[in-house]
Amino acid sequence: MTQPNTDAIMRALDAMNQKLTKLDTIDDVLATVACLEQQQQDQHTAIQRLENREFDRGHVPPPLGGHGDRPPKLHRIDFPKFDGKSDPLHFINKCESFFHQ
């Protein structure tokens, strides 16, 4: 009966060991990726909560990369109309108020 070559067995064992080590490394990478994905999702949720909280308070944050010293956005106000029947002084006061705003 022929005895197996010890060197061939050792090479085969080393090859299997390397494959197993690579599998452990791949599992570690996959676990790390899953952890990073969860952290990213948590951060996204936290950002949405902060944005919603500020909008609920009526505060609109400045745009990213923008300047905080910009004047606030004004609401549209319609110019008053004179119907020709009411007191013109009241109409003039409304017009002055429009221009002041």
Rounded percentage of the chain residues whose pLDDT exceeds 90: 0
Which is more confident, 55 or 95? 95
Predicted pLDDT at 25: 77
87-94 long-range contacts, CB within 8 A, separation 24+: none
Tens digits of per-residue pLDDT, 26-72?
777 788 888 889 988 898 888 888 888 766 666 665 565 555 667 66
* Nearest by Cα to 80 from 72, 88, 71: 88
